[in-house]
Structure 1
Amino acid sequence: MSTHHTTVGEFTVWDYVVFVIMLLVSAFIGVYHAIKARGQQSNSQFLLGDRQLRALPVAMSLTASFMSAVTVIGTPAEVYQFGAMFLIFCISYAVVTIVSAEFFLPVFYRLNITSTYEVLYTGIVIYAPALALNQVTGLDLWGVLVATGLVCTFYCTLGGLKAVVWTDVFQMGIMIAGFLAVIIRGVVIQGSFERIWNISYHGGRLNFWDFDPNPLRRHSFWTIVVGGSFMWTAIYGINQSQVQRYIACKNQFEAKL
């Protein structure tokens, strides 16, 4: 009986370089917007970017906010263990996008509020990458937590929402580059994307369509589309991270877009 040991990769010098550069660029964006505003920012300018933001950077910022380490680390593990049924959430996203844009957004946009804030989620999304970094670098968990929190607080406090949005745009680019690197590396190791697809199919993970009406199932078409629509409406429709960016757009059309 053989025992298989899983080797956990550790950070190399270049990994540390990328990590430090990412923190420095994020901090620099905050400093840049603080200098650009020269301390003359009103509450509206600081919290809402003077309501002059465009759809694309705001969309990327929203994606970065909810494409957290919880998603990046958790979704592949979920699909690997329980199958691709999870991807049916795309249908509920489509429903929720329309509901949020047509019903919730116009109300918040006209109210001109600045905060519906919740703190718990922010703590979770900072803890998840800190835990991952702790595993691959050996750095103290609380040290990583404090450092990450300080950098985020630094650029948010100095630059306001504009700094948050453009830092998210930068970080989204890093995430996409990481996803592509993993996909390309996987294809290189396995020889082709077709081979990866076949392995997934024969491993029973391409279980996209399950119409079992049992509400106790972990994932089925109905639990994901119906349950997921209600869940994501609460997030996309009224969550502070979303609402504050919606109403920072230069007009309601840009916000809906």
Structure 2
Amino acid sequence: MTNLDIGIFIIYLVGIVLFGSSFYKKNKTASAFTLGNKKIPTWVITMSIFATFVSSISYLALPGQAYLTNWNAFAFSLSIPIASLMAIRFFVPLYRKVNSPSAYTYLEQRFGPWAKTYASVMYLLTQLMRAGTILFLLALPLHILLGWNITTIIVVTGISVMIYSLLGGIQAVVWTDAIQAIILIAGALVCLLVLLFSMPGGYTQLFETASLDHKFSLGSFSASLSDSTFWVVLIYGMFINLQNYGIDQNYIQRYMTCSSEKEAKKSALWGGLLYIPVSAMFLFIGTSLFSYYHALPGALPDGIDGDKVFPYFIVNQLPVGLTGILIASIFAAGMSTMSTSLNSSATVILTDFFKLPESDPNTARKSMLILYLSSLIFSVLSIGIGVAMINVQSALDAWWKLASIFSGGMLGLFLLGYFAPKVKSKGAIMGVIGGVVVIGWMSLSPLFIQEGPMLKYVSPFHNYLSIVFGTVVLFVVGFLVGNLLYRRKTSFKSQK
């Protein structure tokens, strides 16, 4: 990178930190820190919801996947309208009625404190792993391509996000999210235009080359449940996005920051729908990179493949100045996701684990202290996980897998609470046990059983379907057990 590119990147990083920190004066109460006093413009929350969808993983992985294979991942995006419509029909009105900064207060109301604690702990575990993983994956390509120290990148990025998120609260998070979303869209558009007009045979060559290799294919349309077919990815996307919209604190908190239910519905709908064309653009970049390097054999060094192709193109092929903007846009995607996790996790810790009496005159001060300390500790742990992944990725991958298994029951528990009013705590507990066992079997059996007589017990299904089957089993078991217990209780009362 040239000095100009490095300068642009540093200006962006410092600018975001200063801008986010400028909300400190408006951030003196717990309500301001967690909900922004419900005075944040709708378009800002919309862009923040979109930015929550897009992380540095998406920014690099989608082009990398399209470069290596095809547009199969786009089936995930096509499931978003279903989740968006369910959000505005069911989820937004419910959470606005509950009127709590935490998504998991509803589960406590339905099934008791255990349900809230279970969901809150699983959420915090997954967010810690998510933030640490994003910091690591954000630093990895820059370390490989630019030679920057990977630990330094992780620490500097983590501290930068911590500063403005801690000082500025949710207002800093959503406003910086909005700016970062605009930067990452603009950066991707610039890169796509450069690719289109850099083809030796013109932009038509791009489409011809990609079409010959079936790069625009959405994948197989077969009925197989063991492969990443169009239908498997679509169904997986439906359940993951329902989990995002229905039980993920990152999204629920944004519903609550809106000034009204109507504005919250607008943000939920358009924030999700915006991801569809943007994800298509990322995939098209990957397809374009395939055609570009196919037309220029030898231009891509050995060892540069998959997720590394897009960063290599940014550093080596873009004009001076644009490289700095694109590197900034990759960081924008990662920083927006981490800041969201940080603020939402602090909110969950305060709301779900500390019962501060409103009558106590020191409650306001104690609440802010808890929020600040939670943000600080979460940031330090995330940075630690990111640094640890440099040498012990296998152990942390296992932790991530386990956290995903336990959090996989959250969607089913919410659906059970909402759509099965007769089911009480005992039925829900049995459902959670059943769902977690199924998700654990589908996720872990292929890892631990690879040969021998036990091989027949390995899950034959694609791992994308673990959340699908786990959610269905949780709901069905909880529904059947809960209704059976309800009938017995009703019958016993009638006999008395």
Q: TM-score scaled by structure 1? A: 0.88
Give distance in 1, aligned partners of 2:3 and 2:183: 18
The one-character-per-residue Cα deviations of 1:37-92 (angstroms, maximum 9, x if unpaired) are: 2x6x2211111111122321111112222211100000011112221122122321
Judging changes above 3 Å, is the alpha-carbon distance between structure 1 residues 135 and 236 closer, same or farther for their aligned structure 2 residues? farther
Q: 2:365: which partner in 1?
A: none
* 2:262 is the alignment partner of 1:253: yes
Match of 2:207 in 1: 197
Find out whether 1:212 has 2:222 as its counterpart: yes
The structure with more helix, counted as a fraction of residues: 2
Q: Which residue of 1 aligns with 2:50?
A: 63
Whole-Å separation in 1 of the counterparts to 2:219 and 2:140: 34
Shift, 1:204, TM fit: 1.5
Segments of structure 2 that go 5 or more residues without pairing to the other structure are 104-122, 267-496
CA distance in 2, matches of 1:239, 1:30: 23
Structure 1 counterpart of 2:205, one-letter code: R
- Cα deviation for residue 153 of structure 1 reads 0.7
Match of 1:28 in 2: 18
Equivalent in 148, 165, 176 of residue 167 of structure 1: 176
Task: Quote the Cα distance in structure 2 between the aligned partners of 1:192 and 1:169.
Answer: 35
Which of 62, 65, 69 aligns to 1:82? It is 69
- Alpha carbons of 1:214 and 1:167: their partners in 2 closer, same or farther (altered >3 Å)? same
Aligned to 2:442: none
Q: CA deviation at 1:209?
A: 6.2
2:339 aligns with: none
- In 1, Cα distance between equivalents of 2:52 and 2:240: 17
Whether 1:111 and 2:103 are equivalent positions in the alignment is: no
Decide whether the 8 Å contact of 2:47 with 2:177 is kept in 1. Answer: yes
Q: Secondary structure at the match of 2:207?
A: helix
Change over 3 Å in CA distance of 1:31–1:227 after alignment to 2? closer
| Equivalent position of 1:178 in the other structure | 187
Secondary structure of the structure 2 residue equivalent to 1:85:
coil
Please give the root-mean-square deviation of Cα atoms over the aligned residues, in Å. Answer: 1.7
Alignment of 1:151 onto 2:160: yes
Contact 2:70/2:216, CA 8 A, preserved across alignment: yes
Cα shift at 1:202 = 0.7
Question: Residues 4-58 of structure 1, C-alpha deviation per residue, up to 9 Å, x if partnerless?
Answer: xxxxxxx2222211221121111112221113x2x6x221111111112232111
AA matched with 1:106? P
How far off its partner does 1:210 sit? 3.5
Secondary structure in 1 aligned to 2:197? Answer: helix
Structure 1 vs Structure 2: percent identity of aligned residues?
Answer: 27
Runs of at least 4 residues of structure 1 off by over 6 A?
Answer: none
Q: Which moved more, 1:146-155 or 1:128-137?
A: 128-137
Which amino acid counterpart does residue 55 of structure 1 have in structure 2? T
Measure, in 2, the Cα distance between the counterparts of 1:205 and 1:122: 32
In 2: Cα distance, 1:122 partner to 1:111 partner: 28
Aligned to 2:9: 19
Q: Aligned partners of 1:23, 1:253: CA distance in 2, in Å? A: 34
C-alpha displacement of 1:109: 2.1
Matched residues in 1 for 2:10 and 2:77: separation? 34
Q: Corresponding residue for 1:5?
A: none
Matched-pair contact (CA < 8 Å) for 2:70–2:219: no
After TM superposition, the structure 1 stretch with the greater mean CA deviation from structure 2, 186-195 or 72-81, is 186-195
| 1:155 CA drift (Å) | 0.4
How many residues align structurally? 243
Once the 2 structures are TM-superposed, how far is the Cα of residue 164 of structure 1 from its aligned partner? 0.6
- Tell me the secondary structure at the aligned position of residue 84 of structure 1: coil
Shift of 1:208: 2.7
Distance 1:25 1:111 in 2: 37
Which structure carries more relative contact order (alpha carbon 8 Å, separation 6+)?
Answer: 1
Counterpart-to-counterpart distance in 2, 1:110 and 1:125: 34
Partners of 1:123 and 1:66 in 2: how far apart? 17
Per-residue deviation, 1:181: 1.7
Return the alpha-carbon distance in structure 2 between the equivalents of residues 29 and 181 of structure 1: 25
